[in-house]
Amino acid sequence: MKPERFLETEMLVAVLAAWAFATGCGGGPGIPPGPLTVSLSTSTVVAPQDGTPAAVGATVSGASSASSLSVTASNLPSGVTWQFVPAAGGLTGTLSLVATSTTPSGTYSANVVVTEGTRTASQPLVLVIAIAASVANAVDTTLGVGGKLDEFMSTSFQPSEGNYQFFQNHTATEPTQLTKLGPQHIRLQAVSQGVPMKVNTGAATDWNFATLDAVVQPVLSAADNSPEFQIAVAPAFLNDPTTGHFIFNSANVQAFADYSANLVRYYNKGGFTWGGTTLVSPSYPQHPITWWGIFNEYNINGLTASQYIQLYNTVVPAMLSVDYTIKISALELAVADPTTDLPPFVAAPANGGVSAQVNVVATHFYPTCNQQDVDATLFSRVPQMVQYINYVYQQLRTRSDLASVPLWVTENNVNADYPNPDGTSNCNPTMKFVSDPRGTNPFFAAFRPYVFSEFGKAGNQALYHWLYAADTQSGEVDFNTGSTYLSYWVDYWLAQMFPSTPTSPGPDILQLSATETSSVEIVATKSSDGSVVLMIVDHAVHAPTDNNGPGDPRTVIADVSSLGTFSSATSITIDAKTNATSGPTAVGITPGQKISVTLGSYGVTFLKLKP
């Protein structure tokens, strides 16, 4: 009797022999092959627009023969080509995908498809079309101010009865938090009860600086201790009670000049006497005010260009007669048609143009005054403003004495609208006012850096936030709680990464090329210590109808090989994931010849490379 184990072995040999006879060497009829599948070495692949191939490994299982297989890619964006190169044996290989500069950047859902006869198998593949940028080790002298990004960051206050308590209510954090922001020449715009001259009777009670100085004195002690005081409006007794506009006549012009001269005396020269009482700033003589702006947005506040020039030519000499060291900001325009305001201003003095001292001209920029405007509209108005800036400089250069005068954008935010007392929109009175959250949320993390870069490259030399302490439409900090908004950190890091002051030139702007500029903003600068900052802004709109939308992901691959080697690099990103209270966290990265940056939504990434 054969042992049981021996019988089992004989049976196994017989079964294997029968299977080999039935299938032969290549599989035969009677036993179907296994299911056809394909697996990929990665689920996401990045194809730069410069034509650098993106490779993904593919392995096929369940095929009868490699010679009968077909491996293809589908659902590709326009301009992308593919090629599958099999390895030895044919059931594995590499799929290469190549994009061109005409392929729209973004993230796409593609597929890798395997076909054998009537059988198919597919595997999804996320295809990222990346923007390729290349930074040269040379200054782009066509941009900025002679090739430098001479644009400082600042912020604003509007002292009035509605907000003068801010510093009193937040003594634990302010003005320390304001100083940390690093603003240069903080703008002060007194309105309503913030205007210190109430009436004109000759009595000491005509003047009351309490509301104004509740804001001015803390600001004088903060940051660079050198605010710009914009004499935004005339005292109420010089204005039309119905419209609030300045009543233009020679007597009122002289009265406004006298009022402005007394402000200079109050802050800079030990005060002035009125009604037998001497009025003097508590900060005198430690902190005089050097910078002064004359009137606010005259072009939408009742004055013609000719009237403003006459006002300016009278007021400025009166102020300079008190303190000849002060500096003057002119125009302070609401953005409108610049061909209305600039040519009369720069005309020869004999032909009615400005004759008084001009140290800077100023304008404002809000891309909308209607919360219903979509994201794409707001972004599209940034290049339009660049054309405006170019026109301003073109006009200034028509006079040799104004050719070197810089432009400052002294008000900037997303939306200029505000509520009327009855809750309707000031800009659209038939509609209820709706606060625009895009002034403090992730949209702003794309908007403000985009504005900063484009304006700075056009030669603008200051960018002011409107306002510092306000609501979610306008603020950098919450007026009621004092807590920071996301906008605070955007402006903080712009000032940190691109330091510039009116007396200290900013960094050099490096030459840079990119395969696409419609959805991202890229700027590279180099400081005197050899460090390089690369700013990448994702302002890609997800859908044309988006209003406060999420944005669309973008990847940028920056070639910095021409700049040499760097010992360290850090990356800072501000987007929807950033904590508005603590701000972004710097992350160390490995410097290389090419650096890839991916933003998943509206936002900005700063790369700092140190030699």
Per-residue pLDDT tens over the stretch 426-473 = 999 999 999 999 999 999 999 999 999 999 999 999 999 999 999 999
The contacts of residue 25 (CB under 8 Å, 6+ apart) are none
The band of 364, judged by pLDDT with boundaries at 50, 70 and 90, is: very high
Q: Say which CATH architecture domain 512-610 belongs to.
A: Sandwich (2.60)
Query: Which H helix or E strand runs over 80?
Result: none
For residue 64, what pLDDT is reported? Answer: 84
Is 70 within 8 Å of 152 (Cβ atoms)? no
Region 37-130: CATH code: 2.60.40.10
How large is the average pLDDT for residues 153-171? 97
Instruction: Give dist(CA 476, CA 488) in Å, integer.
Output: 4
For residue 502, what pLDDT is reported? Answer: 80
For residue 89, what pLDDT is reported? Answer: 77
CA angle 142, 487, 131 (to 5 degrees): 50
Helix ranges (H only) for 348-497 are 375-396, 442-457, 486-497
CATH 3.20.20.80 assigned to 185-358? yes
Phi, psi angles (nearest 5°) of residue 354: -65, 140
For residue 3, what pLDDT is reported? Answer: 44
In the predicted structure, residue 281 carries a pLDDT above the cut 50: yes
Taking the alpha carbons at both ends of the chain, their separation in whole angstroms is 86
Distances (CA, A) of 233 to 143, 237, 245, 284, 508: 36, 11, 8, 24, 39
DSSP 123-173: EEEEEEEEEEEEEEEEE-TTSTBTTB---EEE-EE--STTTTTHHHHTTTT
Provide the 10 A C-beta neighbour count for residue 179.
14
CA angle 30, 31, 36 (to 5 degrees): 135
For residue 31, what pLDDT is reported? Answer: 52
Helix ranges (H only) for 221-332 are 250-268, 305-320
Is 47 within 8 Å of 74 (Cβ atoms)? no
Question: Up-side HSE of residue 599: CA atoms within 13 Å toward CB?
Answer: 37
Is 379 within 8 Å of 541 (Cβ atoms)? yes
In the predicted structure, residue 255 carries a pLDDT above the cut 70: yes
The percentage of residues in the chain with a pLDDT greater than 90, rounded to a whole number, is 91
Query: Which H helix or E strand runs over 364?
Result: strand 360-365
In the predicted structure, residue 150 carries a pLDDT above the cut 60: yes
How large is the average pLDDT for residues 586-590? 96
Is 22 within 8 Å of 28 (Cβ atoms)? yes
Query: Which H helix or E strand runs over 468?
Result: none
Give the range among 6-20, 76-90, 199-213 with minimum mean pLDDT. Answer: 6-20
Report the mean per-residue pLDDT for the chain.
94
Query: Which H helix or E strand runs over 4?
Result: helix 4-23
Pairing mode, if any, of strands 228-231 and 272-274?
unpaired
Burial class (CB in 10 A: 0-12, 13-18, 19+), 590: exposed
Instruction: Give dist(CA 307, CA 446) in Å, integer.
Output: 39
Domain with CATH 2.60.40.1180 in the chain: 512-610
For residue 33, what pLDDT is reported? Answer: 66
In the predicted structure, residue 23 carries a pLDDT above the cut 50: no
Phi, psi angles (nearest 5°) of residue 30: 115, -35
The band of 66, judged by pLDDT with boundaries at 50, 70 and 90, is: confident
In the predicted structure, residue 12 carries a pLDDT above the cut 70: no
Domain with CATH 3.20.20.80 in the chain: 185-358
Instruction: Give dist(CA 113, CA 51) in Å, integer.
Output: 23
In the predicted structure, residue 604 carries a pLDDT above the cut 80: yes
Which is nearest to 501 in space by CA: 223, 286, 230?
223
For residue 88, what pLDDT is reported? Answer: 79
> SS3 for 452?
helix
Distances (CA, A) of 214 to 132, 293, 559: 51, 20, 51
Q: Which pLDDT tens digit goes with each residue over 367-426?
A: 999 999 999 999 999 999 999 999 999 999 999 999 999 999 999 999 999 999 999 999
In the predicted structure, residue 291 carries a pLDDT above the cut 80: yes
Is 110 within 8 Å of 47 (Cβ atoms)? no
For residue 5, what pLDDT is reported? Answer: 37
Place of tokens 């929109």: 425
Provide the 10 A C-beta neighbour count for residue 473.
21
For residue 580, what pLDDT is reported? Answer: 98
Instruction: Give dist(CA 438, CA 435) in Å, integer.
Output: 9
Domain with CATH 2.60.40.10 in the chain: 37-130
For residue 28, what pLDDT is reported? Answer: 45
Phi, psi angles (nearest 5°) of residue 438: -70, -10
How large is the average pLDDT for residues 202-226? 98
Instruction: Give dist(CA 341, CA 73) in Å, integer.
Output: 58
Instruction: Give dist(CA 283, CA 217) in Å, integer.
Output: 7
Distance of CA 139 to the CA centre of its chain: 22
Distances (CA, A) of 256 to 247, 295, 345, 414: 11, 10, 20, 32
